[in-house]
Amino acid sequence: MTPAAATELATATNEHLANISNTLIYSAMAVYTLAFFAYIAEWLFGSRSKVARTAAALTAGTATAGAKGPAVTVKSKGGTAVLERPEVVVRSSAGSRDVPDGPGAHGGDEQGDLYGRIAVSLTVLAFLVELCGVIARAASVQRAPWGNMYEFNITFSTVAVGVYLLLLALKKNVRWLGLFLTTTVLLDLGLAVTVLYTASDQLVPALHSYWLYIHVSTAIVCGAVFYVGAVGTLLYLFKDSYENKLAGGGKPGSFATSVLERLPASASLDKFAYRINAAVFPLWTFTIIAGAIWAESAWGRYWGWDPKETWAFITWVAYACYLHARSTAGWKGRKAAYIALIAFGCWLFNYYGVNIFVGGKHSYAGV
């Protein structure tokens, strides 16, 4: 076989793998859609008669700090099924009330729990299919699959789902995150395959470095974990407002009650978001340092206040302010949560805004 023929064959094989990757990404979207509807069913068909814990705790004021809540029991044809016991949080973010965690999306109901297990199984399947799509994309060009925004998006959503499944594997009570996760993953992949799609191609010379594997991979992991923390923070704000309204004698609407009662207590959500953000913050620090080292190798300087560098640093400062505020008595709770959402907004702008609307040395990959 002549060299020209071999090159042509290699190109065809690459295109074949790229098409396989595209098919797998669309297949993952289809499975994520099924998981989304299963999560919806979990929320809709879970028992609504088992979700009065927050209201009862705030009304009676008898929750015991550090104690376990009553076991949730449901009748079934085979006898009595005992589901999870919600934990009572020691102190809320405001330090003024002890509120038990909700029983989860299924509301302590056996039928809702079944839909939830189906949803998680579909999420695992979609994750594996999407992961294979990312690997096929990498194999099509024999490089790391994050050379442009399309590849970054499909890898980012894969890692975000992987973080969720890892927390589930560690026996963390995070199934309430599933509906919000699949919704945003579908939006992310929809944006990737329509607006951000870029044909499989080789990298520009500046990206041919082992730092691509180090710097960009850690940035993707940080973004995925920051996303999980942002969802927890946003839900904390809703749940805290709900608890405040109940504590003040108000009566929230039936929709808010049926949804928010099933979430963990606001203190649990606040603690969850803080631990997630605090755990990944050192890795984000390393990401910026690794980027500076790579910049010196590629462009002859460690830092040049390029828009991407600037917004990465702004994001770092915002999360540093959040972590400091979270440890300061006067800024705990909602004030710190607002800073956390601003910090995640900085991360989003650093990725989408800078890449699309702002030019700079990091614009070589297009979208």
Q: In whole angstroms, what is the distance from residue 174 CA to residue 26 CA?
A: 26
The first and second tokens of residue 301, run together, are 């300087």
Assess whether pLDDT exceeds 60 at residue 56: no
Quote the CA–CA distance of 156 and 224 in Å, as a whole number: 6
Residue type, 251: K
**How many distinct helices (H) and strands (E) make up the chain?**
12, 2
Task: Map residue 80 onto helix, strand or coil.
Answer: strand
- pLDDT tens digits, one per residue of 100-128: 777 777 766 777 788 889 999 999 999 99
Alpha carbons 3 and 6: distance in angstroms, whole number: 5
**Which residue has tokens 């309204």?**
245
68 pLDDT above the threshold of 50: no
Confidence of residue 53 (pLDDT cuts 50, 70, 90): low
3-state secondary structure of 76: strand
The three-state DSSP-derived secondary structure of 18-34 is HHHHHHHHHHHHHHHHH
Strands (E), 240-338: none
Please classify residue 136 by burial: count the beta carbons closer than 10 Å to its beta carbon, then call 0-12 exposed, 13-18 middle and 19+ buried. Answer: buried
Radius of gyration of the CA atoms of the chain, in A: 23
The pTM score is 0.80
Q: Which of these ranges, 24-33, 178-187, 205-214, has the smallest mean pLDDT? A: 205-214
Gap between the Cα atoms of 363 and 360, Å rounded: 5
How high is the pLDDT of residue 297?
Answer: 80
Tokens of 203: 């990298």
- Provide, rounded to the nearest whole percent, the portion of the chain with pLDDT above 70: 77
The 10s digit of each residue's pLDDT in 158-185 is 999 999 999 999 888 888 899 999 999 9
Average of per-residue pLDDT values in the chain = 80
Tell me what pLDDT residue 85 has: 41
Distance CA 191, CA 354 (A): 17
The larger pLDDT score, comparing residue 297 to residue 131, is at 131
Look at residue 315 and tell me whether its pLDDT is greater than 90.
Answer: yes
**How many structural domains comprise the chain?**
1
Q: How much is the pLDDT for 83? A: 43
Range of the domain at 54: 3-363
Residues 301-324, mean pLDDT to the nearest whole number = 89
Cα distances (angstroms) measured from residue 101 to each of 25, 68, 173, 263, 333: 36, 10, 10, 7, 17
> In the chain, what percentage of residues exceed pLDDT 90?
40
Q: Are 56 and 220 in contact (CB under 8 A)?
A: no
**Structure-model confidence comparison of residues 355 and 240, the more confident one:** 240
What is the DSSP secondary-structure string of 126-187?
A: HHHHHHHHHHHHHHHHTS-S-SSHHHHHHHHHHHHHHHHHHHHHTT-S-GGGHHHHHHHHHH
pLDDT band at 154 (very low <50, low <70, confident <90, very high): very high
Burial 281-296 (b: 16+ CB within 10 A, else e): beebeebbebbbebbe
Q: How many CB atoms lie within 10 A of CB 245?
A: 14
pLDDT tens sequence across 266-275: 899 999 999 9
